[in-house]
Amino acid sequence: MSLDADISALIAWCSSRNVWIDPRLRIVAGPHGVAVYSRGTSIPSGTTLVRIPRASVLSVKSSPISHLIPASPYGRSAQLSLALALSVELANGEMSAWHGYLQSLPRDIPGLFWAGATSTRGDSFTTGWLAGTEAAKLLANLDDEIEEYYRMVARPMYEQLRISRPSLQDFRHVCGLVSSRAFLVDAYHGLSMVPIADAFNHIQDNHVHIETDFDVCPECGSLRQCPHDDDTGDGSTDDGDDDQEDTYEMVSNRPIPAGSEIFNTYGETLSNAQLFVQYGFVLDVNENDCITFSSVELAEVLGGDRVPDQLLNSLTALPWDDMVDSELVYVDGSRRFCINSDALISHSLWLLLALHLLPQIPEKPHDSLIRDLENAFHHQLTLERCIGTDSEVVAPTPPVLDDEADAASSPNLYGIIPNMARLLVSLCRRRAEALTGCGKSSEELGDIFDSLPVDGNPTRMAISLVLTERSLLDSCAAAWESAMRATR
């Protein structure tokens, strides 16, 4: 069947299951599979465009074999449980209550690791391209976990149910469908396949989003009072408010121009590494891209002397308002140790390095430690201003201390920044070495990238991740080398 025929069958199934689709929408075949467009009229913000009855989603709870599937609330285990429920429905073919929806799902998901690293389109791909990347970290153990779940849980279940047994490759494909399409809808259904809501493609600056009442009864899914509420203890149910609709909705959050593609966002903060691993595509430019450092990587450069976690956590939670003036550091809301898409280091990483370089930290009173860190940071800002000028770089004078006692107990703040720069350059160089790119230089990778098809080629996407990460590491190291030179 063609994609157009699949879409017609999907729409017929939706109407049989009371999935309401605003007539101003068109569901069509686009360059990335199914896509949703507006027709000839623009649509204002705040419009409900799709209503999906809660009973029509496919979840572990709504699956006919829910009593046999180990349910998990979130994470990879929730994805695997849903993949098992979905694989059984797919194996049931036309007998499945979701058949009209399931037949519209893609049969090939190139470049999506959940579905198996190779593609039936014949792209030859090796995960070697990803060595040392953020994507490689996210993929850790994925292949093995899928295979183990298939052997230990899924295959015995297929045998018990006496259905035609999906192969490991079939199961991987179903895992890919779950990874790239499922929504966490509420406390009862949890991770679910949501027809039509999953037809929208992704953009960061989205037009629509899903709205659900998340806090339903986790036992029976009721939106109202139910026998599982223990507040009243009387086991009564509330049959009132029958108008309250049990639906999930796709709602516009900005005006949608006439005749344009309507996008959802799969997450406003998703980096290309996350999009690649979970959805099998990357954006041309992604300001969420970043390079994160694990505690193991940091320990390799900093040595065994650990900064106490509690101290670091309390310091990273402070506002650090002056950091907005920096061209080397930014305040990272999620407090990761990382380099962002502008090659700036996160404030958590800066504080970790500064604390590592300051002597006698545990003995210092908290206030005096904060003052030292602020002084060190102001010293860095002065340096940054020197780097930015055309005039010959002048080494700034060390900060003036309030009184003699301060002067006696103060560490050499002047020396912290060049030492921090040395550590950062070393951190960047080590990480860049791990980004082997199958032994290719960035020029060679650029040539291969240019020679590959633009759409959906996993090797092209993997190379773009390597090139972006190499360039961020080079820019970050170069900026801190300039800071180092400015202090000479």
Ligand X SMILES: C[S@@+](CC[C@H](N)C(=O)[O-])C[C@H]1O[C@@H](n2cnc3c(N)ncnc32)[C@H](O)[C@@H]1O
49, 192, 274, 326 from 267: Cα distances, Å? 20, 16, 10, 28
**Separation of alpha carbons 427 and 295, rounded Å:** 12
CB of 201 to ligand X, least distance (A): 3
Stretch that binds ligand X, among 277-285, 303-311, 461-469, 470-478 (CB under 6 A): 277-285
Nearer to ligand X, 85 or 369 (CB): 85
Strands 48-53 and 191-193: unpaired
CB of 353 to ligand X, least distance (A): 37
- Which residue number is nearest to ligand X in terms of Cβ? 33
Does residue number 59 form part of the binding site for ligand X (CB under 6 A)?
no
Which lies closer to ligand X via its Cβ, residue 206 or residue 348? Answer: 206
Stretch that binds ligand X, among 156-164, 275-283, 415-423, 480-488 (CB under 6 A): 275-283
Choices 30-38, 143-151, 317-325, 436-444; region in contact with ligand X by CB under 6 A: 30-38
Asked whether position 201 contacts ligand X by CB under 6 A, the answer is yes
199 binds ligand X (CB under 6 A): yes
Name which of 34 and 445 has its Cβ closer to ligand X: 34
Q: Which stretch binds ligand X (CB under 6 A): 74-82, 84-92, 274-282, 362-370?
A: 274-282
Interacting positions 202-221 with ligand X (CB under 6 A): 202-203
- 262/381 Cα distance (integer angstroms): 44
For ligand X, which residue of 101, 114, 279, 320 counts as binding (CB under 6 A)?
279
Give whichever of 34 and 43 is closer to ligand X, judged by the CB atom: 34
Q: How far is the CB of 27 from ligand X (least distance, A)?
A: 10
Comparison of 138 and 203: residue with beta carbon closer to ligand X: 203
Tell me: does residue 464 bind ligand X (CB under 6 A): no
* Rounded least distance, CB 156 to ligand X, Å: 29
Q: Which is nearer to ligand X, 276 or 377 (CB)?
A: 276
First-residue to last-residue Cα distance in the chain: 70
Q: How far is the CB of 483 from ligand X (least distance, A)?
A: 37
Q: Is residue 180 part of the contact set for ligand X (CB under 6 A)? A: yes
Which among 33-41, 144-152, 162-170, 442-450 is the span making contact with ligand X, rule CB under 6 A?
A: 33-41
Residues 67-126 that bind ligand X (CB under 6 A): 106
Q: Can you give the chain as a three-state secondary structure string?
A: CCHHHHHHHHHHHHHHCCCEECCCEEEEEECCEEEEEECCCCECCCCEEEEEEHHHCEECCCCCCHHHCCCCCCHHHHHHHHHHHHHHHHHCHHHCCCHHHHCCCCCCCCCCHHHCCCCCCCCCCCHHHHCCCHHHHHCCCHHHHHHHHHHHHHHHHHHHHCCCCCCHHHHHHHHHHHHHHCEECCCCCCEEECCCHHHCEECCCCCEEEECCCCCCCCCCCCCCCCCCCCCCCCCCCCCCCCCCCEEEEEECCCECCCCECEECCCCCCCHHHHHHHHCCCCCCCCCCCEECCHHHHHHHHCCCCCCHHHHHHHHCCCCHHHHHCCCEECCCCCCCEECCCCCEEHHHHHHHHHHHCCCCCCCCHHHHHHHHHHHHHHHHHHHHHHHCCCCCCCCCCCCCCCHHHHHHCCCHHHHHHHHHHHHHHHHHHHHHHCCHHHCCHHHHHHHHHHCCCCCCHHHHHHHHHHHHHHHHHHHHHHHHHHHHHCC
Axis-axis angle for helices 309-316, 366-388 (nearest 10) = 60
- Minimum CB distance to ligand X, residue 165 (Å): 26
The residue (of 408 and 454) whose beta carbon lies closer to ligand X is 454
Binding ligand X (rule: CB under 6 A), the pick from 89, 198, 332, 469 is 198
CB nearer ligand X, residue 27 or residue 349: 27
- CB nearer to ligand X: give 32 or 430: 32
d(CA 29, CA 237): 45
User: Is residue 33 close enough to count as binding ligand X by CB under 6 A?
Assistant: yes
Stretch that binds ligand X, among 144-152, 233-241, 279-287, 401-409 (CB under 6 A): 279-287
CA torsion 100→106→107→110, rounded to 10°? Answer: -170
Q: In whole angstroms, how close is the CB of 180 to ligand X at the nearest point?
A: 3
Question: Closer to ligand X at the Cβ: 108 or 238?
Answer: 108
Name the segment binding ligand X (CB under 6 A); options: 45-53, 196-204, 331-339, 389-397. 196-204
Count residues contacting ligand X (CB under 6 A)?
A: 15
Q: What's the min distance (Å) between Cβ of 365 and ligand X? A: 52
Pick the closer one to ligand X by CB: 396 or 458.
Answer: 458
Options 132, 221, 280, 396; binder of ligand X; rule CB under 6 A: 280
- C-alpha 44/C-alpha 25 separation (Å) is 13
Chain positions contacting ligand X, by CB under 6 A:
32-35, 106, 180-181, 198-199, 201-203, 279-281
